[in-house]
Chain A
Amino acid sequence: MYSSARSLLSSFTTASLLVFALLFAAPAAAELRIEIVDGVEGAMPIAVAPFEWNSDMPEPEDGVADIVSADLHRSGLFDPMDESEMVDRPSEPTEVRFGTWRLLKVDHLVIGSVRETNDGMGYEIEYHLLDVHTGRILLSQALTVGLGDLRFGAHRVADAVYEALLGVPGAFATRIAYVAVRGTGADNETFELVVADADGHNPQTVVRNSQPILSPTWSPDARKLAYVSFATGRSQVIVQDLYTGQNRVVSADKGINGAPAFSPDGDKLAVSLSRTGSPEIWVIDLETGRSEQLTHHWSINTEPAWSPDGETIYFTSDRAGRPQIYAMDAGGGDPERVTWEGRYNAHASFGLEERYLAVIYSEGDEDYRIAIHDRETDRLRVLSDGRLDESPSFAPNGSMVLYATRRDGKSELAAVSADGRVRQRLVLSEGDDVREPAWSPMIR
Chain B
Amino acid sequence: MKTALRFIALVMLAAILAACARETVEEPEAPEPPPTQEPVDEPETDRLNPRDYTDPRNLDNSDSLLSQRVIYFEFDRSNVRSQFRPIIEAHAEYLRSNPSARVMLEGHADERGSREYNLGLGERRGNSVQDLLSANNVPSRQVEVVSYGEERPVCRESNEDCWQRNRRVEIVYTAR
Name A's B-contacting residues (CB within 8 A).
184, 186, 212, 214-215, 230, 233-235, 255-256, 258-259, 272, 274, 277-279, 300, 302-303, 316, 318, 322-323, 344, 346-347, 360, 362, 365, 368, 387-388, 390-391, 406, 409, 436
B120 contacts the other chain (CB 8 A)? yes
Asked if B113 and A258 make an inter-chain contact with CB atoms under 8 angstroms apart, the answer reads: no
B114 within 8 A of A: yes
Q: Are B120 and A274 in contact (CB under 8 A)?
A: yes
Contact, CB under 8 Å: B116 / A272: yes
Binds A, one of B33-41, B85-93, B147-155: B147-155
B residues 97-155 in Cβ contact with A at 8 Å: 111-117, 119-121, 123-124, 127, 145-149, 151-152
User: Once the chains bind, are B123 and A362 in contact (CB under 8 Å)?
Assistant: no
Choose among B120, B145, B146, B157 the residue that contacts A300 (Cβ–Cβ < 8 A): B120
Most-contacted residue by chain A among B114, B124, B145 (CB, 10 A): B114
B116–A259 CB distance below 8 A: yes
The chain B residue sitting closest to A255, CB to CB, is B123
Are B158 and A436 in contact, with the CB atoms below 8 A? no
| Cα A347 to Cα B121 with chains together (Å) | 15
Excluding A300-B121, A360-B113, 15 further A-B contacts by CB distance (< 8 Å) are A212-B148, A255-B123, A258-B116, A272-B116, A272-B120, A274-B123, A278-B123, A279-B123, A302-B116, A302-B119, A323-B117, A346-B114, A365-B76, A390-B113, A409-B158
Interface size of B as a range? 20 to 34
Q: Which residues of A contact B115 (CB under 8 A)?
A: 214-215, 390-391, 436
Please give me the residue from chain A that is nearest to B104 by CB atom. A233
**Beyond A230-B148, A255-B145, is A279–B120 a contact (Cβ under 8 Å)?**
yes
B156 at interface by CB-CB < 8 Å: yes
Bound CA span A277–B75, Å: 22
State whether A212 touches B117 (Cβ < 8 A).
no
Contact B123 A256, beta carbon cutoff 8 Å: yes
Majority secondary structure of chain B interface residues (helix, strand, loop or mixed): mixed
CB distance from B112 to the nearest CB of A (A): 6
Report if A316-B148 is in contact (Cβ < 8 Å); known contacts: A387-B158, A409-B157: no
Q: Is the Cβ of B124 less than 8 Å from the Cβ of A300?
A: yes
Contact (Cβ within 8 A) B151 A256: no
Residues in chain A near residue B120, CB distance under 8 A = 256, 272, 274, 278-279, 300, 302, 318
Which of the residues A184, A277, A303 comes within 8 Å of B116, measured between beta carbons?
A303
Chain B nearest Cβ from A431, distance in angstroms:
14
B124, B145, B151: residue with the most chain A Cβ atoms closer than 10 Å = B151
| Chain B residues near A184 (CB-CB < 8 A) | 156
4 closest A-B pairs (Cβ-Cβ)? A300-B120, A212-B151, A346-B114, A347-B114
Rounded to whole Å, the gap between the CB of B145 and the closest CB of chain A is 7
What is the CB-to-nearest-CB distance from A222 to chain B, in angstroms, rounded to a whole number? 22
A–B complex contacts, Cβ < 8 Å, 15 sampled = A215-B116, A233-B146, A274-B123, A278-B120, A302-B116, A303-B114, A303-B116, A316-B114, A316-B117, A323-B114, A347-B117, A365-B112, A388-B111, A390-B113, A409-B157
Residues of A within 8 A of B127 (CB): 277
> What residues of chain A lie closer than 8 Å to B152, measured between beta carbons?
186, 212
CB neighbours (8 Å) of B124 from chain A are 278, 300
B117, chain A: closest CB distance, angstroms: 5
Q: Which of B76, B156, B158 contacts A388 (CB 8 A)?
A: B158
A11 to chain B, nearest CB (A): 41
Min C-beta distance of A404 to chain B, whole Å: 9
CB distance from A182 to the nearest CB of B (A): 14
Tell me whether A316 and B116 are in contact in the complex, defined as CB-CB below 8 angstroms, given that A212-B152, A300-B124, A409-B157 are known contacts: yes
| Complex: chain B residue closest to A274, CB-CB | B123
The CB with the most chain A CB atoms within 10 A, among B113, B115, B151, B157, is that of B115
Asked whether A346 lies within 8 Å of B123 as measured between CB atoms, the reply is: no
Interface flags, B14-55, vs A, CB<8A=1, else 0: 000000000000000000000000000000000000000000
**Closest chain B CB from A405 CB (angstroms):** 11
Contact in complex: A302, B117 (CB < 8 Å)? yes
Q: Which residues of A contact B151 (CB under 8 A)?
A: 212, 214, 230
